[in-house]
Amino acid sequence: MKHTYDVIVIGAGINGLTAAAYLAKAGRRVLVVERRDVLGGVAAPDRLTTGCQVSPCVHDVGWIPRQMVRELDLTRYGFQEMTDGWLVAAARREGGWLTLSDDVTRTAASLRTHSQADGAQWPRFVERMAQLAGFLEALYLLPPPRVSVQSMSDALRLLGLGRRLRGLGKQGMVDLLRTLPMPVAELVEDWFEDDALKGTLAATAVKGVLQGPRSPGTAFLLLHHHVGARAGMFHGRSRVRGGAGALVGGLTAAVTHHGGEILPAVAVAAIRVREERCRGVTLADGREIDARLVLSSADVRATFLHLIDPDHLDPAFVQAVRNIRYRGATAKVTLVLSALPLLRDFKGEGQSPDRLPNIVSIAPSIDTIERAYDDAKYGQVSQVPYLEVAFPPPGDSSNARHVMSVLVQYAPYHVRDWCWDAARRDALGELVVNRLAELFPHLTDVIVDRQVLTPRDLEATYALTEGSLSHGEMALDQILFMRPIPGWAEYRTPIEGLFLCGMGCHPGDGVAGGAGRLAAAAALKTP
């Protein structure tokens, strides 16, 4: 390892590795510093007590833009997107299952068994959501639009977005402007009548945020989570052969292939600033490494409140950073199984191991989710939480065991009159397993290992402030030119030579490498 580089990237998560790969490919001397001994950030694999290796934080890596795959030539490093069918089983309150897939015709036929009207509406709904999400997709591939035009590139960017907006047509533009601020409950109630269908669609919008389906602006989140998805996919997007770890491996290989270096198991203690310019970093072991540019993929609050002396920052800027909403509300439970469980009364795709649904959504109605949110609003774990269960597809793991990945909504970071401790963690695990056992007969007989990550665990292990899986809530006042804070949305910071490249920047979570790609482009424009 040298003592001087062109660029130091803090954090080897997907965005940090993406930024490093682009910069190294452009000929910059790059060093990535990662505090953990494994790479990948929230997508990093973890070895449980049984020896089973899983990525416990994520079961959906999000949208992987084809532009990034092509520009970094990720297929050269083994990246392979899976194109097989996608199936969601949605629990019904009265028992049984509603099945949704990326086959629009098949889904419509399934819906007609419960509601003729819903079956007729489904193709139109899917088409309209894809159209509106397509506009966001265009936004997410570009730097955030500026409120004021300061250059010809700004004008051309806005002109291009204007053309895309007009391309939606008059009704499409009206639908987009009407949809973005709506509660997701109102949106799906406008389209459908079946409770299970409305519940599972609404649940997609509230994952990872401390908001309920009747909260304003959650319809935007439904569109956000649909960006890059194939038709009808509302509970998952691209699947990578080998899982999240394979994407991390491909990005790591891209960095090193172009001459970049990666230093694991060493934390950055401070970002060195002199004369209002970034000069490099100081590591936790005392070593100082010089660099002309530093890109931080850590969340914004951690970067500015823990790594930089506040004397170098304007107090108003510091206060704006403190005001970013994080409010983690999601826990993750990973179950290692000796055999795949059966799903009670599920007949949609048979019961052979390769026919289990990819996702099981346990949100029987909008009211069920809203009541779960009511608990969280008052600082309590939802007693009847929304659960989303994912099964890694065949070939996703070299483990001999089977894995069940469970997202738990809501488990708030900020609690009232109690605190997260080992007993509370175990109680949450029992609550989740007991709920799952109602739908998966004999589940408890095949569990050989269990890991529970509360929002406090996510903060302690993965440096996620307040347990926020998105480095700050995705909300209408925290996106685009307001992400992370108004006036500083284009990856630059008040410290010359310091850039942000994590999920706390545009386009936020759910776009794998999106912020890293755009931040690298901004950094490459530095003289």
Tens digits of residue pLDDT in 172-215:
888 888 999 999 999 999 999 999 999 999 999 999 999 999 99
CA-CA distance, 443 to 430, in Å (whole number)?
12
Domain that holds residue 280: 4-43+67-79+243-325+471-525
Distance of CA 78 to the CA centre of its chain: 22
Cβ count within 10 A of residue 423: 9
CA-CA distance, 221 to 210, in Å (whole number)?
12
CATH of the domain at 300: 3.50.50.60
Which pair of structure tokens corresponds to residue 85? 């069918």
* DSSP secondary structure letter of residue 263: E
Which pair of structure tokens corresponds to residue 55? 């990525």
Which residues in the chain come in under a pLDDT of 50?
149, 152, 350-354, 395, 398
CA-CA distance, 24 to 21, in Å (whole number)?
5
CA-CA distance, 61 to 58, in Å (whole number)?
7
Residues with Cβ within 8 Å of residue 278, at least 6 apart in sequence? 271, 272, 291, 293, 294, 495, 496, 497, 498
**Coil, strand or helix at 137:** helix
**Domain-located, residue 351:** no
Closest CA to 472 of 360, 359, 349, 325: 325
Which pair of structure tokens corresponds to residue 270? 């401070």
pLDDT of residue 247: 92
**Domain-located, residue 275:** yes
**Domain-located, residue 429:** no
**Coil, strand or helix at 200:** helix
Q: How far is CA 160 from CA 144, 179, 491, in A?
A: 13, 22, 21
**Domain-located, residue 312:** yes
Distance of CA 133 to the CA centre of its chain: 16
CA-CA distance, 279 to 515, in Å (whole number)?
23
**Domain-located, residue 349:** no
pLDDT of residue 354: 47
Closest CA to 223 of 176, 260, 257, 269: 176
- Bridge partners, residue 131, by sequence: none
pLDDT of residue 322: 96
The per-residue pLDDT for range 371-390, each reduced to its tens digit, is: 999 999 999 999 999 999 99
Q: Which helix (H) or strand (E) holds 362?
A: strand 359-362
Do residues 43 and 247 make contact, with C-beta atoms less than 8 angstroms apart? Answer: yes
Q: Which helix (H) or strand (E) holds 390?
A: strand 386-390
Which pair of structure tokens corresponds to residue 246? 């394979």
pLDDT of residue 393: 58
Do residues 212 and 370 make contact, with C-beta atoms less than 8 angstroms apart? Answer: yes
Find the angle CA(280)-CA(283)-CA(287) to the nearest 5 degrees.
85
**Domain-located, residue 372:** no
3-class secondary structure per residue, 161-192: HHHHHHHCHHHHHHHHHHHCCCCHHHHHHHHC
Which pair of structure tokens corresponds to residue 209? 């945020």
Do residues 37 and 264 make contact, with C-beta atoms less than 8 angstroms apart? Answer: yes
- Bridge partners, residue 335, by sequence: 404, 450
CA-CA distance, 260 to 1, in Å (whole number)?
11
pLDDT of residue 265: 96
Query: Rounded to two decimals, what is the model's pTM?
Result: 0.93
**Domain-located, residue 273:** yes
CA-CA distance, 65 to 140, in Å (whole number)?
10
Closest CA to 361 of 89, 131, 156, 92: 89
E strands, 423-483, are 447-453
Count structural domains, the chain: 1
Closest CA to 387 of 441, 337, 437: 437
**Domain-located, residue 436:** no
3-class secondary structure per residue, 309-341: CHHHCCHHHHHHHHCCCCCCCEEEEEEEECCCC
